Amino acid sequence: MTATNTAHNVTRSTRRHRAFLGRFPMPEPAPDPAEQFSDGGAVAAMGRLSLDDQRVLTLCVLEGLGEREAAAVLGVRPGTVKSRLHRAKARLHQRYTATAEPLGGAL
């Protein structure tokens, strides 16, 4: 009998909680920053990288894969992915800063 009463209490409590939450409007989901990314300079800099650099950056940075998963996709060792990723980030930074316009304009 105790288990039955407890189950009824939980059901009632859940129903009341849902009714309470139903009084409030659902918030709009926050936009994904990655979907709003439109930096032409970064896209152009990425396009000037080698295909290997583009692949490792895409897998690890954009797709969010870890070194082991990216290594399995690329058919290399995880240590190779780690060093390629480090070098690719450095090259991307170099190419981006070489063409990017300074923020804030002239003083």
Whether 14 is covered by a domain: the verdict is no
The mean-pLDDT minimum among 34-38, 50-54, 88-92, 96-100 falls in: 34-38
Whether 35 is covered by a domain: the verdict is no
In this structure, what DSSP letter does residue 59 have? I
pTM of the model: 0.58
Q: Which pLDDT score, from 0 to 100, does residue 105 have?
A: 53
Domain that holds residue 94: 40-99
Q: How far, in Å, CA of 37 to CA of 57, rounded? A: 16
| Domains held by the chain: number | 1
Q: Which pLDDT score, from 0 to 100, does residue 26 have?
A: 80
CA dihedral (103, 98, 86, 73) positive or negative: positive
Whichever domain contains 47, its CATH number is 1.10.10.10
